[in-house]
A and B are shown apart, each in its own frame.
Chain A
């Protein structure tokens, strides 16, 4: 039972254009969402996050949108750069009050390729 799904295994975008990566989830208890980026031969690195009390969070070229009713979130990268080429993982957490660890449920990842 995959609770976090990234239905597009790959995405190809021209440099300077917008990249939109999508993620769907099924668990209505998820209340915190994150995006991680992974380069080859490296571990995932945290990129941006959003709490369920918000519907948008922006950090420079990266914006995450959350649509709770649709159980959908997306990551927008504008403008896309060749250095953004990586695997992007969506992750979600259903942390209740008092938990002492951050259990994350990950999606399978989307390979983003930005062409010069």
Chain B
């Protein structure tokens, strides 16, 4: 089945220790997104890739970086995690087709829960 896969599902890191979360997709979608969701809050878009073009949201901290080496994979790097970065991180994909609605019907992975100690 075509899907969005996130590894690991749970990640524990130490305060200030760099961490990388990964996302892969078998849907061949050209747009990939990273969201941060804190407990009982709405998912918040951090950035997205349209093919290889990277787009940062204005309020995404510099501490967060991303890489997309090819269509299938996308990585979220947190350079110096703080306690406030503990959250669920969701990866999503969508297609860019003539009908705009396909951009909004996003396919999500199960998420990686990040704990910072």
Chain A contact residue count (CB 8 A cutoff):
29
Dominant secondary structure at the A interface: loop
Q: Is A85 an interface residue (CB 8 A)?
A: no
Q: A32-B100, A43-B108 are in contact. Are A2 and B42 (CB under 8 A)?
A: yes
Q: Is B50 an interface residue (CB 8 A)?
A: yes
Docked-complex contact B41 and A108, CB < 8 angstroms: yes
Q: A101-B50, A102-B31 are in contact. Are A44 and B42 (CB under 8 A)?
A: no
User: Of B41, B106, B107, which is within 8 A of A104 by CB?
Assistant: B106
In the assembly, what is the distance between CA of A102 and CA of B50, in Å? 10
Q: Is B103 an interface residue (CB 8 A)?
A: yes
In the assembly, what is the distance between CA of A4 and CA of B45, in Å? 14
CB of A98, distance to nearest CB on chain B (Å)? 10
Docked-complex contact B100 and A44, CB < 8 angstroms: no
Which residues of B have CB within 8 Å of A100? 31, 50, 96, 103
Q: Is B94 an interface residue (CB 8 A)?
A: yes
User: Of A41, A101, A108, which is within 8 A of B31 by CB?
Assistant: A101
Which residues of A have CB within 8 Å of B103? 95, 99-102
Which residues of A have CB within 8 Å of B94? 101-102
Which residues of B have CB within 8 Å of A109? 40, 42
Known interface pairs A43-B110, A44-B43, A102-B31; 10 further A-B residue pairs with C-beta atoms within 8 A, sorted by A's residue number: A32-B104, A42-B110, A44-B90, A49-B101, A51-B101, A100-B96, A101-B33, A102-B94, A104-B45, A106-B42
Chain B residues in the interface with A (C-beta under 8 A): 4, 31, 33, 40-45, 48, 50, 55, 90, 92, 94, 96, 100-101, 103-111
